[in-house]
Amino acid sequence: MNKILLLLSICFSNLFCQIDTTALSFFPLDEGNYWEFASLYIDWPMPTYEYSYSSSEIVGDTIMPNGYKYKVMITKSIPSDGYQDSTFYRVDSTSANVYRYYPFADSENHEFLFDSLKALKGDTSYSRHDLLSIYDTPLTVCLDVYSDTTLGIETEIKFFHDRTFASGQTYKLARNFGLINVSYTEFVHFQTDLVFAKINGLEFGIPLSIESENILPVKFSLGQNYPNPFNSNTTIPIIIPQTGKLRLTVYDILGKKIKVLINGEIEPGLHNIIFDGSSLASGVYFFVMNFEEHFQTKKFVIIK
């Protein structure tokens, strides 16, 4: 009996040693976890702007026809317009791979690799590959792993480039938060940002109001200018959540102030600032935005 207990102890020890809890925390799927996102869609050459807001929640689990148990994520619009989407995810605790059930996936289990949570900078994978089997090279690459602030919390970020549906799409996963950003810039610009999360009972950020049909932005944001690089004019999208004092300044790579674009009180909403850089030499420059006590910087490039 003692030998059996010893063998069982060794087996369980080996199993738990293989579970990378840090990696798993980049896609937290506990029941009750809840996220709210703000999305901005910009179409050009005659820019049109559209905001949308959504929530995602883990409501439970279910066993699908392939025999695997999946977590059920429900996504809804904010405010509710009747739209609701259900997606099904499972995480392999030893490989830290996330799989999504999809009845039309080209695989025996009708699922596909959604994310590889152990990915480090430079690692590639065939995430979502079974949906688009025409590709013979890895579709997803981890561009960087770094520390940054998410909803006021210092955490680790994994930054991915995903070529599954469009070459210009990127997304970010944050430790203990999951998905925090999706961005696509090619023929249009689409950006989704996490603005509120409830993870394992703890709340982060400011929840969106679901009582008003005219939801204002919930946080300030200095968007990436477009086009970028450019040689004459470019547009800088700025999102302001409330009336306040804004200062937007252009600096060169040495920190020399080039021009103050805005310095004064500004109303809430989306503002598109046109910057004429035709008089500047080719090189790297920075937009620096100060709004009340907040601060953000974006790099841009001028090519002549």
Contact of 219 with 194, CB cutoff 8 Å: no
Average pLDDT over residues 21-44: 87
Q: Which of 3-7, 22-26, 96-100, 124-128 has the lowest mean pLDDT?
A: 3-7
Q: Which of 45-54, 152-161, 232-241 has the lowest mean pLDDT?
A: 45-54
Residue ranges of the domains in the chain? 19-217, 220-304
* pLDDT for 210 beyond 50: no
pLDDT at 75: 92
* pLDDT for 33 beyond 70: yes
> Which is it for the CA torsion 288, 289, 294, 298, positive or negative?
negative
Q: Which of these, 143, 140, 144, 146, lies nearest to 124 by C-alpha position?
A: 140
Joined tokens for residue 50: 């559209």
The listed CATH number (2.40.360, 1.10.10, 2.60.40, 3.20.20) that belongs to domain 19-217: 2.40.360
**pLDDT grade, residue 19 (50/70/90)?**
low
* Cβ-Cβ contacts under 8 Å for 199 (sequence gap 6 or more): 28, 30, 33, 176, 177
pLDDT at 192: 87
Average pLDDT over residues 95-101: 90
* pLDDT for 162 beyond 50: yes
Q: Which of these, 154, 158, 269, lies nearest to 221 by C-alpha position?
A: 269
pLDDT at 139: 76
The listed CATH number (2.40.30.10, 2.60.40.10, 2.130.10.30, 2.60.40.1930) that belongs to domain 220-304: 2.60.40.1930
Contact of 262 with 299, CB cutoff 8 Å: no
Burial status of residue 48 (CB atoms within 10 A of its CB: 0-12, 13-18, 19 or more): exposed
pLDDT at 167: 66
